[in-house]
Amino acid sequence: MQTYDVIIIGAGAAGLMCAGTAASRGRSVLLVDHADKVGKKILISGGGRCNFTNHYTSAENFISQNPHFCKGALARFSAADFLARVEAHGIAWHERDHGQLFCDHSAADILDMLLAPCREHGVRILLQTEVQDIVKENSFQLTTSQGDFSCSSLVIATGGLSIPKMGATGFGIGIARLFGLNVVTQEAGLVPLRFTGHEQEALQSLAGISLQVSIRCSKKSFTEALLFTHRGISGPAVLQISSYWHPGEMLDINLLPGLDLAEWLTRQTSEHPNMRLDNALASLLPKRLVQLLVLWLKFPLLPLQQLSDKQQQHVTDQITHWQLKPATSEGYRTAEVTVGGVDTCELSSKTMQATRVPGLYFIGEVVDVTGHLGGFNFQWAWSSGYASGLDA
């Protein structure tokens, strides 16, 4: 049986960060993954440019039953700390909307940066390796398809359930349960939402339309782009709210955020009294959407000057609070993240170590910490990986 100080299961963003950090401290490290390549999600993220962090990272950008848990790791290794490494490695980057940071050239630059300390400090990487059994006596003992190994520190960095075609499994959750740790129910997050029946048929006519909206659910709201698809709705606004939405809940959508629609209608009535309502609205919204709203919400096809105050109020209310109830999400097949995971009550917020199982660590997406869209999930991977790597 080969012995290492640290064995990390999962060679994604969090696992690579942990491996490089631990090895830099002089720890002997084995990194194991069932995939045939390291960092697969890094390479495909951000359209191949990797949205590697966000300038505005804070605890408010994460979902967890304990909203304060992520603060410890984020303080130990911040977005600014990761950006400093990017610049020290000579990686060109740029900022997009809402503080999102991307590589100028390729996500492979980030992967190369993460692998550099692993190479320098002798991390052993075993790919296409199945972990078949784990037991703990004085140390952790692993039975794998590549042989038997032992370690004093075992780090689980196996990710969530999203995008199973990339190799996602519930392995990490299984390990948590094996050692008696509580798990918060998992759900698909950052995922398109779907409709069925009459609503799906009606919304199909809008496929391809994108517009800026404000979308609200469960007391949370986001103002970003919404995209109508053949199956339902997607786009940044929908992906963001999907992490908070549960089946049966209604979405409240303002199709004209930033506009006082009541005041606008009053002004248009004064300036264009004979303009019909649908034509007026078509100056603000895509024509196909206006046509659907007229039928769906029973808007009167009258000149503006003939609208009663009650009718104007109805139009205003419906456009600024359009109520839609999705049937379901598209699930893990297209979800970018998994909401839920290993209960943070079981872990140290400083080191990510399981408080009831010394030497066992959980990092990255397998933990009940889920970021919003925009580089926050990668930052959680870097921060939690670094925090565990300093301790394991």
pLDDT in tens, 73-119: 999 999 999 999 999 999 999 999 999 999 999 999 999 999 999 99
Give pLDDT tens digits for 210-239.
999 999 998 999 999 999 999 999 999 999
- CA 17, 5, 161: angle at the middle one, nearest 5? 45
User: Is there a contact between 92 and 104 (Cβ–Cβ < 8 Å)?
Assistant: yes
Length of the chain: 392
Give the model's confidence band at 265: pLDDT under 50 very low, under 70 low, under 90 confident, else very high.
very high
Beta strands at 29-32 and 124-126: parallel, antiparallel or unpaired: parallel
pLDDT(181) > 80: yes
Give pLDDT tens digits for 320-373.
999 999 999 999 999 999 999 999 999 999 999 999 999 999 999 999 999 999
Give the model's confidence band at 161: pLDDT under 50 very low, under 70 low, under 90 confident, else very high.
confident
Q: Phi-psi bin for 50: left (phi > 0), alpha (psi -120 to 50), beta?
A: left
φ/ψ of 150, rounded to 5, equals: -135, 160
Structure-token pair, residue 120: 């320098």
Residue 166: C-alpha distances to residues 34, 43, 77, 275 (Å): 11, 11, 28, 54
pLDDT(164) > 80: no
State the pLDDT at residue 191.
97
Q: Could you name the CATH architecture of 2-187+338-389?
A: 3-Layer(bba) Sandwich (3.50)
Beta strands at 2-9 and 29-32: parallel, antiparallel or unpaired: parallel
> Global pTM?
0.94
State the pLDDT at residue 330.
95
pLDDT(192) > 80: yes
Q: Following CA atoms 352, 98, 82, 382 in sequence, which dihedral angle do they give, to the nearest 10 degrees?
A: 30
User: Is there a contact between 23 and 121 (Cβ–Cβ < 8 Å)?
Assistant: yes
* Three-class DSSP category at 161: coil
105: amino acid identity, one letter:
H
Enumerate the CATH 3.50.50.60 domain ranges in the chain, comma separated: 2-187+338-389
φ/ψ of 345, rounded to 5, equals: -65, -20
User: Is there a contact between 364 and 157 (Cβ–Cβ < 8 Å)?
Assistant: yes
Enumerate the CATH 2.40.30.10 domain ranges in the chain, comma separated: 193-329
Give the model's confidence band at 165: pLDDT under 50 very low, under 70 low, under 90 confident, else very high.
confident
State the pLDDT at residue 20.
98
Instruction: Give the C-alpha separation, 370 to 380, whole Å.
Output: 8
CATH domain 193-329 topology: Elongation Factor Tu (Ef-tu); domain 3 (2.40.30)
